[in-house]
Amino acid sequence: MGVVESTYFDLHPKYSMWTRNSLGQVSLGEQPGQINGWQAGRPFPEAPDANDPRAGEKLAWNYKYGYNWGDSAVIEPFYWKYRDMSNGRVERTIKFNFAFLNFTGRVNQEPMPAITPNPSELFRGTYLRVLEPNDVRNTQLLIHRSMDDLKRDNAWLYLGFQRRVRRLATGQVTDAFLGSDLMIEDFEGYNGRISDMHWRYLGTRQMLMPFYNHNELELDSETHQDSDGFQVVAFGGQGGCFPNITWQLRTVYEVEAVPVDSSHPLSKRVHYMDAQTFTIPRTVAYDRRDSLWKTFTIGQAHPDHHLPINKGSGVSVDDSFSMIDVQAMRCTTGQFKGQVDPTKSTPDMFSVQHMRATGN
C-alpha cells in the first residue's frame, strides 16, 4: 500500500454555509427515519457522543445529506469488471452511464435549495443505463428517494430485450445486480433508507483510507482511455481486484448498520465514514451467520486533481471501487469518469417516460 500525506478535502463553501446557518435547528424525530428542521447542509456537525444512543443514526443522516456528488453529477463512462480472484480472469465487462440529482437540499447549482415543482416530494434520483455488452445493452435503472425517509423508494427497471419498464420489487435491491458482487443497496457505500437499519456508533478511529490525487497516480494507459485523454484508475494485486492507488491516514467514524428486516441477506455492515467528507470509502459486510462476506473500497479523488470540470466543486469524487467476496474469491471492480457537470444531469432524465423514450 502506498501511503501519502493526508490532504484537506474542502467541501463547497455554500454547503458549509448552510451547515453553519442550520446549527442547532435540526433534530431527530421520535422514531428512526424522522428528522426535523433540515433544509440543506450537514444536519449534525458536532462530533458524535459515545453516550448518545442515537449517535449512529445522526451519522447516517450526515451521510445521506452529505455532499456526495454535490447537487448533481454523472459518471460517463463507468466500467464494471467481474473477476475470478483466484486466477485474475475477467469474466465480464459492463459499460454504464450513471447520473445523480438532488431535488432538495441543493446548495450550489440553481435552483436552490430545491427543484420545483416537485409533486412527488423527492429528495434524490439515481439513473443508470447500460451501454455494453449487447446482451444487456439499454438496461436502465431509475430510483426515486422520497424526502420522507419512512416512505419506500420507488424504483423501475427497463430491460432492453423486453422493451418495457417494470417496477422493482423491494426485495430486489438486495439481489446481486446484473450478476455482480454488488446489491443496489451497496451503491455509494449505502443506498438505502435510514429507517431500514439499526445504527450504532462504535467509535472514532484513525485509519488508512483510499484518498488520493487522481492525476498523480500511475493510471490505466492500456484500456478505457477516453477521447479527451482521460485515463481511469488501474487495478492489480491478487486477481486484479485491488486499485493501484495511494492511501491517507484519516479520521473516521465506525458505524454498525444492522438490517431491520430479519430476512435481509446480511447480518450487518460496518461502515467507516470519513469525518471530513462523510463519504463511505470502506465497508465490511457480514452474512447471516455473522461471518465476513464482503469488503468494499471506494476510492476518493480530490476534485482539484482530476478533470477540469471538477475543480473547485468541493466534491470528494468517487473514482474507483472494489467489492470483494472473500468467501467465493470473486470481485467486481469499478473504474469511473466522474463529472460534476449540471448540464449532464437534468430533471427530465429521472422519469419513467425518459426510460421508455431512451429505450425505444
Q: Is residue 26 over pLDDT 90?
A: yes
The domain ranges of the chain are 2-45+53-99+181-343
Over the stretch 61-73, which tens digit does the pLDDT of each residue have?
A: 999 999 999 999 9
Q: Is the dihedral of CA 6, 8, 11, 12 positive or negative?
A: negative
Q: What's the confidence (pLDDT) of residue 359?
A: 80
221 pLDDT band, cuts 50/70/90, is confident
Q: Is residue 308 over pLDDT 80?
A: yes
Q: What percent of the chain stands above pLDDT 70?
A: 99
Which residues, at least 6 apart from 325, have a Cβ–Cβ distance to it below 8 Å?
181, 293, 294, 331
**Is the CB of residue 290 less than 8 Å from the CB of residue 265?**
no
- Average pLDDT score over residue span 4-11: 95
CATH number for the segment(s) 2-45+53-99+181-343: 2.50.20
DSSP-assigned states of every residue in 73-95 = EEEEEEEEEEEETTT--EEEEEE
Over the stretch 74-123, which tens digit does the pLDDT of each residue have?
A: 999 999 999 999 999 999 999 999 999 999 999 999 999 999 999 999 99
**Torsion angles phi and psi, residue 173, rounded to 5:** -70, -10
Q: What's the confidence (pLDDT) of residue 9?
A: 96
Greater model confidence, 40 or 226 = 40
How far apart CA 237 and CA 294 sit, in angstroms, is: 17
Neighbouring CB atoms inside 10 A of 253's CB total 23
CA distances from 67 to 76, 91, 129, 234, 318 (A): 19, 34, 23, 26, 12
Q: What's the confidence (pLDDT) of residue 222?
A: 81
Q: What's the confidence (pLDDT) of residue 223?
A: 79
Q: Is the dihedral of CA 260, 127, 11, 212 positive or negative?
A: positive
Over the stretch 137-168, which tens digit does the pLDDT of each residue have?
A: 999 999 999 999 999 999 999 987 777 899 98
Which residues, at least 6 apart from 322, have a Cβ–Cβ distance to it below 8 Å?
235, 241, 242, 243, 296, 297, 331, 332, 333, 334
**Is the CB of residue 187 less than 8 Å from the CB of residue 318?**
no
DSSP-assigned states of every residue in 230-245 = --PPPEESGGG-EE--
